[in-house]
Amino acid sequence: MLAGCAVGPDYRRPAVETPSSYRYASPQAEAVDTSLDWWTQFNDPVLNDLIAKALAQNKDLAIAAARVEEYYGRYVVTRAGLFPQVGANFGASRSRGVPAPGYPPAVGNQVQLNGTVAWELDLFGRLRRLTEAARADYLGTQAAQQATRIAIIANVATSYLQLRDFDNQLLIAQATLESRKSAVDLFEERFGGGVVSKLQLSQAHSEYESAQASVFAIQQQIAQQEDALSLLLGQNPGPIPRGKSITQLSAPAIPAGLPSSLIERRPDILQAEQALVAANASIGAARAQYFPQISLTGLFGAASTALSGLWTGPARVWSFAGAISQPIFEGGAIAGSVHQAEAVQQEALFSYQQTIQQAFADVENALVGVARTRDQLDATTRQVAALGEYSSLSRDLYEGGYTSYLEVLDAERSLFAAQLQQSALQDQQLAQIVNLYKALGYGWTPAQGNAPPGTQPDPAQTPTAAGARPPQS
């Protein structure tokens, strides 16, 4: 009887059109243990340490953990309205009255000790719907925290890969600079002997300065990348330790998965669903305003003119009361509130559906990126080999007097650009695999608290999300 019924719609997970498979699924895909840290497959202890440091110190993660605590507190405050509010008060006073003619002033004491109880009977489910919405908001912040964790892991990994790519490009640029410095020295010697023209010497100097400018540009990129990675680690900008080179890093396995499992794995989808749960519950809370609000209050205690008299029978005092509040005319305010809640629920529904579609697109984009970047790298590797041979042959022809120095310069420029592109593609190939793990929602283990709505335990009885301080009731 007291539980009554909760007005408004009960939540049911919307049906979602899910593809049976990914269009660009890799034939090399294999099952991956989701409980393991996938980034350890790079076999670089330095990268492992950087990610561990980011998970411990990153400020975005700290903010997300604090937000979980905030919404846990909001949930507890809202849920408290379901229970009787019990209190106690003690008071003592001494007063002097205005004397009447011919009488001394009256002086009296008053001591009172009372216990109070107040309870709103939630017959129509207003408080339960508000609690349901607050609970969903709380679970949504847990999912958001895990989404932040996945993003931080992926960002640290890709930033580190980019840094090692820049390091490799710097080695290529420095080797090219040394080669062009040797060419300048040789041409200055030959120019002094009248073997080469001033034009050829100027060309050699120009290519040397171009390589020098490339070195400076890459050094700038390295410094800026270190600063960006430092911020991800939650520390002031500074140098970053190095592990394996970009060519030594092992490529993680390409994970296999079905689109249907993505709905349970992606924290952003779980967060969007909890927003839908909260919006759905808010409709019931709004509709409950049409019905009476019934509250009970009670007081039991004692009052006396002396403290010792509080414990005697005649000192007892009590009162009980009930109140019913029923809106009659409110100018359409309740109808407007219901209309607003229903519109918010529709927004949340479309956002949930859009989040799922975006998740499918993220996976497809990552899969095609893995495949095509590998193809580009293979083609560029063959191009570098061909250009290396072309550069060597053109120099031999020049030394033999069969071609101009412009042919040599053109070959060396093309080789330098292809070597830089090859290094960048080595980075991109690994980064695309990182993006695939991120798109599939790897980097956390779905906990019971993020199970489908209606199956989760009461958050007040379970620990908060990993990384957040245990809630204090």
Q: Burial level of 101, CB count in 10 A (0-12/13-18/19+)?
A: exposed
- What number of helices (H) and strands (E) belong to the chain? 8, 4
**Spans in the chain with pLDDT lower than 50:** 1-3, 448-473
Matching residue, tokens 């207003």: 126
Nearest CA to 297 out of 316, 324, 271 is that of 324
User: Which of residues 303, 325, 347 is at a domain's end?
Assistant: 325
Question: Is residue 255 located within the same domain as residue 150?
Answer: yes
Contact call for residues 133 and 278 (beta carbons, < 8 A): yes
What total number of domains does the chain contain? 2
422 CB-near residues (< 8 Å, 6+ apart): 377, 380, 381, 383, 384
For residue 452, which of 265, 257, 259 has the smallest C-alpha distance?
265
Residue 24 near residue 432, CB atoms below 8 Å: no
Judge whether 50 and 44 are in contact, CB under 8 Å: no
Q: Are both 264 and 317 inside the same structural domain?
A: no
pLDDT for res 308: 66
Residues 172 and 321 in one domain: no
How far from chain centre, in Å, is Cα 131? 25
User: Do residues 240 and 92 both lie within one domain?
Assistant: no
256 with 372, same domain: the answer is: yes
Residues 312 and 278 in one domain: no
Hey, what are 210's tokens?
A: 């171009």
Mark whether 350 and 394 lie in a shared domain: yes
Which candidate, 439, 437, 461, places its Cα nearest to that of 449? 461
Residue 400 lies in a domain: yes
The secondary structure of 215-259 as a DSSP string is HHHHHHHHHHHHHHHHHHTTS-S------S-TTTPPPPP-B---H
DSSP 3-state of 115: strand
Q: What is the CATH number of the domain that holds 312?
A: 2.20.200.10
Q: Which residues constitute the domain of residue 302?
A: 86-97+107-121+295-325
Domain boundary among 306, 325, 344: 325
Contact by Cβ (8 Å): 371, 24: yes
305 shares its domain with 385: no
The residue from 283, 307, 325 where one domain ends is 325
pLDDT digits (tens, 9 = 90+) for 294-340: 999 998 877 776 666 666 666 677 788 999 999 999 899 999 999 99
Query: What pLDDT score was predicted for residue 104?
Result: 74
How do residues 39-84 score in pLDDT, each as one tens digit? Answer: 999 999 999 999 999 999 999 999 999 999 999 999 999 999 999 9
Query: H or E element: which one contains 93?
Result: strand 85-96
The reply to whether 209 and 281 lie within a common domain is yes
**Parallel, antiparallel or unpaired: strands 316-325 and 85-96:** unpaired
How long, in residues, is the chain?
A: 473
> Which of helix, strand or coil describes residue 114?
strand
Asked, for residue 10, whether it belongs to a domain, the answer is: no
Q: Is residue 469 part of a domain?
A: no
Beta bridge partners of 89: 114
185 three-class SS? helix
Among 14, 267, 283, which Cα is nearest to 146's? 267
CATH number where 237 lies: 1.20.1600.10
Report the predicted TM-score, pTM, of the whole model to 2 decimal places.
0.86
Q: What is the pLDDT of residue 310?
A: 64
Q: What sign for the dihedral angle of Cα 154, 160, 164, 170?
A: positive
Look-up: residue for tokens 């970053």?
Answer: 240
Contact predicate 455/385, CB 8 Å: no
Residues 454 and 380 in one domain: yes
Q: What is the pLDDT of residue 307?
A: 65
- Does some domain include residue 466? no
Between CA 473 and CA 468 the distance in angstroms is 15
Written as six digits, the tokens of 238 are 């500074």
CA angle 122, 125, 129 (to 5 degrees): 125
Q: Is residue 28 part of a domain?
A: no
Residues 116 and 299 sit within 8 Å (Cβ to Cβ): yes
Please give the pLDDT value at position 21. Answer: 83
Q: Are residues 117 and 127 in the same domain?
A: no
Residues 314 and 399 grouped into a single domain: no
